[in-house]
Structure 1
Amino acid sequence: MATFLYKLGKLAFRRRHFVALIWVALLTLAGVGAASAPTAASSSFSIPGTEAQKAFDLLDQRFPGSAADGATARVVFEAPKGEKLTDAGNRADIQDTVASLKSSSKQVASVADPFVAKTLSKDGSIAYASASYKVSSMELTDADRDALQDVIDEAKTTGLTVEVGGDALQAMPETGATEIIGIAVAAVVLVITFGSLIAAGLPLLTALIGVGIGVSAITALASVLDLGSTTSTLAMMIGLAVGIDYALFIVSRYRGELAEGRDREEAAGRAVGTAGSAVVFAGLTVVIALVGLAVVNIPMLTKMGIAAAGTVAIAVLIALTLIPALLGYVGKRVHGRKARKDLSTDKQPKVNMGTRWAGFVLRRPVTVLIAGIVGLGAMAVPVASLELGLPDDGAQPTSTTQRKAYDLLSEGFGPGFNGPLMTVVDAKGADDPKAAVSEVVREIKGTDGVAAVTPATFNKSGDTAVISVVSKYKPSSVDTENVVHDIRDAGVDIKADTGAELSVTGSTAMNIDVSQKLNDALIPYLALVVGLAFLLLMVVFRSVLVPLKAALGFLLSVLAALGAVVAVFQWGWLGSLFGVEQTGPVMSMMPIFMVGVVFGLAMDYEVFLVTRMREAYVHGERPAQAVVTGFKHGARVVTAAAIIMIAVFAGFIGSSEQMVKMIGFGLAIAVFFDAFVVRMTIVPAVLALLGKKAWWLPKWLARVLPNVDVEGEGLRTASADRPDEDRPDEDRKLVSA
């Protein structure tokens, strides 16, 4: 591995014009593809194998056209205090608004008048008009949304309270200025780390090229592959973070090789051969974790994982080829002026903070280990109160019109009205379909927690019926979940008695099934990802205990991060600081998503830091001294990489979409815990206590495992075997020493 990458690095250095041209061409090609691609429709959401999805598919089959995915706008009216909407003036104002809605856009398919559709609350104070569009929310233009907003603004001038729910006003999520701030922080950290604007600019430039190619490719394929907007956001988030980090490690190693006196081409080759090997395996762990999301069998999640994994793969390829090519252009200017002066005078570097910290941990390993474990354990305590769910308009900030419409509907029609349950009765196998459906209606009405049941609507064949059920409780509550389970349980007896099959679907039931599916998949997914990564790390470190320690440390950091997510987004602690206006259940996919992404990123730091220790140990240093050497060369860079990754992820906390905000916060805090508490504190403490046992590997296993030579021992051996006259001056000095 090291020898192959060494040759690749030198080739890229020598053929830098050709390599740079290839990457620019790829970026241009991806950009053109994205610009010319058709606008992607809203991504479809399906959960194969669940009752809600089966019912939805049956509904689409038996009621053709009923499952249309056009945008909707639910315009909610509230009468002024002391008045009713049925008063002549208010009634006329509402009917004028309905007429304006119908003519506001060519995309409006229909608008239901509340007085005709009887969508008026019992006390006459609240009503709603449902508008349906011919196209999805993502296909609506700004002009369509502006026209809808103009109608609402005009309606408000009548004295009525008017708010809008549904997805018609839903625009693309915005991240705001915080994303730019995150990149700016990364730039500052790079400048401080390298002391050179040129060296700092390389990781940023290459990361942006990689993300540009990845996100442009996703945009170009979005319509064909049915990719949602969150897919490109996730790819950008992870691609920026790993792209900067991978380039940072190779540039840092290149500077170190120059400091040892090697010429520029040789330094580039050795940097790619050693640090590049770590980049390959670190990237593989991230890719395994992201692609492994396919285990959950939720197409949207699978596509998100594969798209993000593709961006990570691009980041690895750029680090191995474009970085050494660009190093060929910048030369020794990769060092700042002061560093170049120190190199020219053979001035010895001072003992750095990494060396001091490693010495501190080695003197007090037990104390440091206990403090790290107890601290993360305390942060993980809120996980015991974790509540999972998928966000609806009730999770929106109270300042939004969607949330105000949600609250008005809850007040006028009951909390369950915002998430009605769609009950589908397949009576094809019943002797008397109408009698079977009547039995279903009676059974549902007698179910605890049911507030209202609408009359059954039959299809043209008369063998399938749809019954809308309203719960007494809000859609995202545990009580509504119990109502769904009770109705489904009743369906077993109904099938036995009548032959009709009863199933429950709709957005609320779909959310419940998604949460259950994600919970069921968590353990198998964790076993698959951790198991594969454990084998990969055994190959890298040629040890059993080091990968085991890495996996256990990851579990600590991810539990602590989930605890922090619960505290902020569910309990509301420091919520205002992170822009959390409305607390609620943690997004259902958050645990499994964090397990996948954080595990991959956590292994990055494990590989980068511990490979330097492994390299020192293989080259003859004692275990304790190898830990110090690893921190001497790696701590500063790992610290910078972690701060950069935290800054990039934290930049997405400013997103207008709750899902992106929660992911950004969760990943940022997880990287903080894993990099600074686990990898920089617990790892050296454990290695200090284990000593030589840390690198123990059974002889039979050593023969089975391939030797990938991540530490670059093959490069040193090859250097020693070369004739003295063909060896660079710095290699002759190394051998003679």
Structure 2
Amino acid sequence: MAALARWCLRHRIVVVLLWSALLAGLCAAAAVAGSAYSKHYDAPGTESGRAAALLSQALPGQAGDADTVVWHTDHGTVRAAAVEQTMTQVLDKVRTLPGITGVTSPYGSDGATQISADGRTAYAVANFAQNAENISAGQARALVDTAKSAQAPGLEVALGGQAVGVTVTTGGAHLSEIIGVAVAAVVLLLAFGSLAAMTLPLATAVMGVGTAYMGVELLGHAMTVADFAPMLGMLIGLGVGIDYALFIVTRHRRGLKNGLTVTEAAEQALATTGRAVIFAGGTVCVALLGMFVLRLGFLNGVAVASSLTVLCTVAASITLLPALLGFIGPRALSRRERRRLAAGAGIGASTDARTDVSTDGALPPGLPTGAPQPEVPTGLAVRWSAFVEQRPRLLAAVAAVVMLVLALPTFSLHLGSSDQGNDPRTATTRQAYDMLADGFGPGTNGPLTLVATADGGSARLALDRLPGVLRDTPGVASVDAPGTDRAGSTAVLTVVPTTAPQSAATSALVTRLRHQVLPAVEQGTGLKVLVGGQTASYDDFAAVVVGRLPLLVGCVVGLGCVLLLLAFRSIGVPVKAAVMNVAAVASSFGVVTAIFQWGWGSDWLGLGRAGPIEPFLPVIMISVLFGLSMDYQVFLVSRMYEEWRETRDNRVAVRVGLAETSRVINSAAVIMIAVFLAFVLSGDRLIAMFGIGLASAVALDAFVLRTLLVPALMHLLGAANWWLPGWLDRRLPRISIEPVAAAPVLTVCEVCAAACGGQCTSVGSPSTPVAQPSPLSLTAHSTRSRSAPDTSKVF
């Protein structure tokens, strides 16, 4: 890694040009090829999927997208001459639009049931030749504009349907990205105090995410990629990309403060934190690619697209970032820091800071004098670390209660797909949805589609009886006359439930039809009926996802534990990480459930009406959150593990690790939270779910788990944190996230002779060679050796 840093620094112009050329080339290729994203979120092999395939094959004219034009009059009825004339003219224009194969008007013989009982609401059905996925935005917009031209005082017109839904935009196109980056810039400026240093993480993340975004657009031509994958990838990429660059720049700045040259500081940063970034990015990719175990085509595309984004941000962090560090040189430090460094006073080890942690104001023993001294964490981070050490039981209990309370709503989690009834009130799709529900009943917005195959006389007789049986079934509001193909062997019936598509009663009706009503009609006749439609497909998909979810969790958690086991050579570290990750996921699901399913603040946030949680949301969030949680675990515990190897004192290791990493972890968390929450402004309910879920998970992970519960538990467990059976230790391959720093190897007596006169017992025998510990641990060790056994008092 140091060699890579040197090469990128020496050839920084070439590196920047290569990245710029790559981005420009991908942009040009994507512009020529166009996008090819998929809107099909179905699971193969389900009954609703077979019904849709049979309908498309036997009755292709009914397989295209059907959108509705709904109108409502405040005075009189829709049968009034003026209203009928206006809407008839508009519907005639709709029939001539490109892609429209026909329009069923309520004023014709086929649409008698399309006028409400009170006569004030009516709707027409506009049939497209193709399904919604293949309908262009221009065709959908033409339908909306044509129908909306009839709107006048006293006559309200709204449109619903999948194709129409594409035209509804409730947020700025890229407003969320701009706001997220702007907030991140403010946090970085406050953290670094340098405008030049602030721009580096932003430039690195934007370059990496932009390259990945264009790559994902091209990827859609090679495999099935869901239409929300690019936005999800951008959401993840901006968060992790800025954080990864933040960690490396922070380590680089520490090297500069310690008197290293720009080249030496960059090499050290990449050789240490850069390795941790690669490891963290690898765990995120492993977690994301775990979605392949579900064997759902569109999720495979989401996994690859998201992993590609993470890989690009990691690549930019270890190649482009060192080149940019070479361009700004010492300006990575603030002006005050550069002045103090030039004065030779040192930046991180001022007299005041040393006095805070030393009984006599002297420098920690074993450290050279007359040169800038290594940075010693001071202030809130050190005081918080000591506070956790002093009250581990109380703080662990408080953190556990907070996580448990937030996770409680998860037990009421209802998986299903939101529909246009969950859109904001100002959307035309929501207005059409509500007018249909008020005028014709809630089930009108989600009819069931029954596809029947009847071969033989007895099957046809059973098919003739089927509509009557369905009308007598509880929960069925109406049944349309069956339409058949030319051969008369395949028929389709539209069943309108009495309840809304998202209602549990509608799902119960689907189950009752499949397992009770239809088998009784089919028995001994040769008739075969498949239940499809919106609610049926949602229920089928949710059942497939829930059934395979334990496999995904097992794979992701298992792989993560193996990686941590290899990195930290401990049983306790990966077990605690797995438990913490599950806690973060459960609590974030609780927040998502309360906001989107229970409706707590959803309208206030502009997220529309409460509704079920998308079935694939848990799958993607589990993969993403396990990866992101592993990032903080790696950066926190790797510093503790480094100190443990040097001192073999668990209290010092945990305290030093928390004190030295909590500030950068919290800064990184604030940036990631800001980026994720900014995506709530995208106007997309699904992306808003991801944004709020990921933001809440990161907040809980960083501020409750990693800086409170994890260190408290590690203090309680003591040396057991680092226990590994000898037989397993001998068989495991040895890997290291961060190499041991190239510090002079000293004996314990040489390190702390001034403190204990060669009588140290806390590290090892006086002749035991050890790598030079951090200044904070040396100071703590020195004070402990002189005075009281309570090491936390030195803070």
TM-score (norm 2): 0.85
Q: Residues 632 and 621 from structure 1, CA distance in 2 versus in 1: closer, same or farther, beyond 3 angstroms?
A: farther
**d(CA) in 1 for partners of 2:268, 2:693:** 36
2:373 equivalent in structure 1: none
Residue 469 of structure 1 aligns with which residue?
495
Q: Which residue of 1 aligns with 2:105?
A: 113
The aligned residue for residue 11 of structure 1 is 7
Quote the offset at 1:253 in angstroms.
Answer: 1.1
Which sits farther off after the overlay, 457-466 or 665-674?
Answer: 457-466
> What aligned pairs does 1:602-641 form with structure 2 within 5 A after superposition?
602-620=629-647, 622-641=649-668
Closer/same/farther in 2, CA of residues 73 and 431 from structure 1, 3 Å limit:
closer
Instruction: Please say which of residues 327-336 and 16-25 is displaced more in the overlay.
Output: 16-25
Whole-angstrom distance in 1 between the partners of 2:55 and 2:143? 30
> Aligned equivalents of 2:152 and 2:682: distance in 1?
32
Q: In structure 2, how many angstroms separate the alpha carbons of the residues matched to 1:329 and 1:270? A: 17
The correspondence for 1:712, drawn from 736, 739, 742, is: 739
Q: Does 1:450 align with 2:476?
A: yes
Q: Distance in 2 between matches of 1:108 and 1:124?
A: 27
Q: Please tell me whether residue 346 in structure 1 is matched to residue 341 in structure 2.
A: no
Distance 1:217 1:76, change over 3 A: same
Q: Is 2:39 the partner of 1:43?
A: yes
* Residue in structure 2 matched with residue 519 of structure 1 by the alignment: 546
CA contact (8 A) 1:366 1:685 kept: yes
Residue of structure 2 equivalent to 1:233: 231
Partner of 2:162: 167
Deviation at 1:162, TM superposition (A): 1.6
User: Could you tell me how far apart the structure 2 residues matched to 1:297 and 1:538 are?
Assistant: 28
Unaligned runs of 5+ in 2: 354-377, 748-770, 779-795
| Distance of 2:646 and 2:507 partners within structure 1 | 60
Structure 1 pair 41–373 and aligned structure 2 pair: CA distance change class (3 A): closer
1:193 and 2:219 are equivalent in the alignment: no
Provide the residue aligned with 1:97 in structure 2. Answer: 90
Contact 1:495 1:501 in 2 (8 A): yes
- CA–CA distance in structure 1, aligned partners of residues 247 and 6 of structure 2: 17
1:605 & 1:207 partners in 2: Cα distance?
A: 18
Match for 1:76: what amino acid?
A: V
Which residue does 2:672 correspond to in 1? 645
Tell me which residue corresponds to 2:244.
Answer: 246
Residue 271 of structure 1: which of 269, 294, 302 is its match?
269
For 1:695, the aligned partner's letter is W
8 Å CA contact 2:280–2:630 kept in 1: the answer is yes
Aligned mate of 1:539, from 566, 572, 575? 566
Q: Distance in 1 between matches of 2:257 and 2:153?
A: 75
In structure 2, what is the Cα distance between the partners aligned to 1:443 and 1:73? 29
Q: Which amino acid aligns with 2:208?
A: G
User: Does structure 2 conserve the Cα–Cα contact (< 8 Å) formed by 1:572 and 1:580?
Assistant: no
TM-score (norm 1): 0.92
Distance change in 2, residues 1:709/1:38 (3 Å): closer
Of 51, 54, 64, the match for 2:50: 54
Partner of 1:711, secondary structure, is coil
Q: Which secondary structure does the structure 2 equivalent of 1:569 belong to? A: helix
In the TM superposition, 1:147-162 aligns within 5 A as: 147-157=142-152, 159-162=154-157
Which of the residues 578, 589, 592 maps onto 1:565? 592
Match of 1:80 in 2: 74
Q: Give the match's secondary structure for 2:220.
A: helix
Q: CA deviation at 1:434?
A: 1.0
Asked if structure 1 preserves the Cα contact closer than 8 Å seen for 2:212 and 2:309, the reply is: yes
Which amino acid letter does the alignment assign opposite residue 391 of structure 1? Answer: S
Letter in 1 for 2:478: A
Between stretches 636-645 and 376-385, larger displacement belongs to 376-385
Q: 1:734 to 1:576 in 2, by over 3 A?
A: closer
Q: Residues of 2 paired with 1:26 and 1:371: CA distance?
A: 49
Which shows bigger deviation, 527-536 or 565-574? 565-574
How far, CA to CA, are the matches of 1:137 and 1:321 in structure 2? 42
Instruction: Kindly indicate whether the alpha-carbon contact (under 8 Å) linking 2:569 and 2:724 is maintained by their aligned counterparts in 1.
Output: yes
The whole-number CA distance in structure 1 between the counterparts of 2:636 and 2:773 is 24
Q: Tell me: higher relative CO, structure 1 or 2? Use CA pairs within 8 A at least 6 residues apart.
A: 1
CA deviation after TM superposition for structure 1 residue 523, in Å: 1.5
- Counting matched residue pairs gives 716
Task: Flag the structure with larger Rg.
Answer: 2
Contact map agreement 1:75 1:130 (CA 8 A) in 2: yes
Deviation of residue 387 (structure 1)? 2.2
Q: 2:506 aligns with which of 453, 464, 480?
A: 480
The one-letter code of the counterpart of 1:75 is V
**Alpha-carbon distance in structure 2 between the residues aligned to 1:59 and 1:310:** 37
Deviations 1:600-628 (A, max 9, x none): 11111111111111112122352111222
- Bigger drift between 224-233 and 169-178 goes to 169-178
Distance 1:395 1:142 in 2: 21
Deviation at 1:716, TM superposition (A): 5.5
In structure 2, the partner of 1:299 is: 297
Question: Equivalents in 1 of 2:566, 2:540: separation in Å?
Answer: 39
Give the secondary-structure state (helix, strand or coil) at the position aligned to 1:497. Answer: coil
| Aligned residue number for residue 204 of structure 1 | 202
Aligned to 1:337: 335
How far did 1:734 drift?
11
SS of the residue corresponding to residue 530 of structure 2 reads strand
Matched with 1:281 is: 279
Contact 2:593 2:613 (8 Å CA) reproduced: yes
Work out whether residues 42 and 137 of structure 1, in 8 Å CA contact, stay in contact via their aligned partners in 2.
no
Query: Does the residue aligned with 2:611 lie in a helix, a strand or coil?
Result: coil
Query: Structure 1: how far apart are the matches of 2:21 and 2:2?
Result: 25
Q: Deviations over 1:32-55 (max 9, x none)?
A: 112212353653333112111122
Distance 2:35 2:627 in 1: 32
Sort the Cα spacing of 1:633 and 1:158 in 2 relative to 1 into closer, same or farther, 3 A: closer
Aligned to 2:25: 29
Instruction: Say if 2:72 and 2:155, in contact at 8 Å, map to a contact too.
Output: yes
Residue deviations 1:538-580, cap 9 Å, x none? 1111111011111111222221111111222222323355323
The worse-fitting range, judged by mean Cα deviation, of 449-458 and 486-495 is 486-495
Distance 1:212 1:631, change over 3 A: same
Give the counterpart of 1:701 among 720, 724, 728.
Answer: 728
* SS of structure 1 residue aligned to 2:501: coil
CA distance in 2, matches of 1:219, 1:456: 42
- 1:158 to partner: Cα distance: 6.6
Q: Any idea what the Cα deviations from partners look like across 1:462-498, whole Å, max 9, x if unmatched?
A: 2222111111111110000010011111344444422
User: Secondary structure at 1:283's aligned position in 2?
Assistant: helix
Farther-moved stretch of structure 1 (171-180 vs 597-606): 171-180
- 1:498 to 1:715, Cα distance in 2 relative to 1, 3 A: farther
Query: 1:37–1:221: 8 Å Cα contact kept in structure 2?
Result: no
Q: Which residue number corresponds to residue 682 of structure 1? A: 709
What is the rounded CA distance, in whole Å, between the counterparts of 1:519 and 1:603 in structure 2?
Answer: 24
Q: Is the 8 A contact 1:433 1:463 kept in 2?
A: no
- Name the stretch that deviates more: 672-681 or 399-408: 399-408
Secondary structure (helix, strand or coil) at the match of 1:713 reads coil
* Contact kept? 2:458, 2:526, Cα under 8 Å: no
The one-letter code sitting in structure 1 at the alignment partner of 2:102 is S
Contact 2:168 2:427 (C-alpha < 8 Å) held by counterparts:
no
In angstroms, what is the RMSD of aligned CA positions?
Answer: 2.6
Instruction: Report which stretch shifted further, 671-680 or 702-711.
Output: 702-711
For residue 589 of structure 1, report the CA deviation from its aligned partner. Answer: 2.4
Q: Tell me by how many angstroms 1:512 deviates.
A: 1.2
| Residues in 1 aligned to 2:529 and 2:104: alpha-carbon distance in whole angstroms | 29
Distance change >3 Å, CA 420–CA 149, structure 1 → 2: closer
Q: Is 2:153 the partner of 1:127?
A: no
Gaps of at least 5 residues in structure 1 are: 721-731
SS of corresponding position for 1:132: strand
Distance in 2 of aligned mates of 1:426 and 1:263:
78
CA distance in 1, matches of 2:520, 2:128: 40
| Cα deviation digits, residues 33-89 of structure 1 (max 9, x gap) | 122123536533331121111221222233345423x5x4311122333x2222333
CA distance in 1, matches of 2:606, 2:60: 43
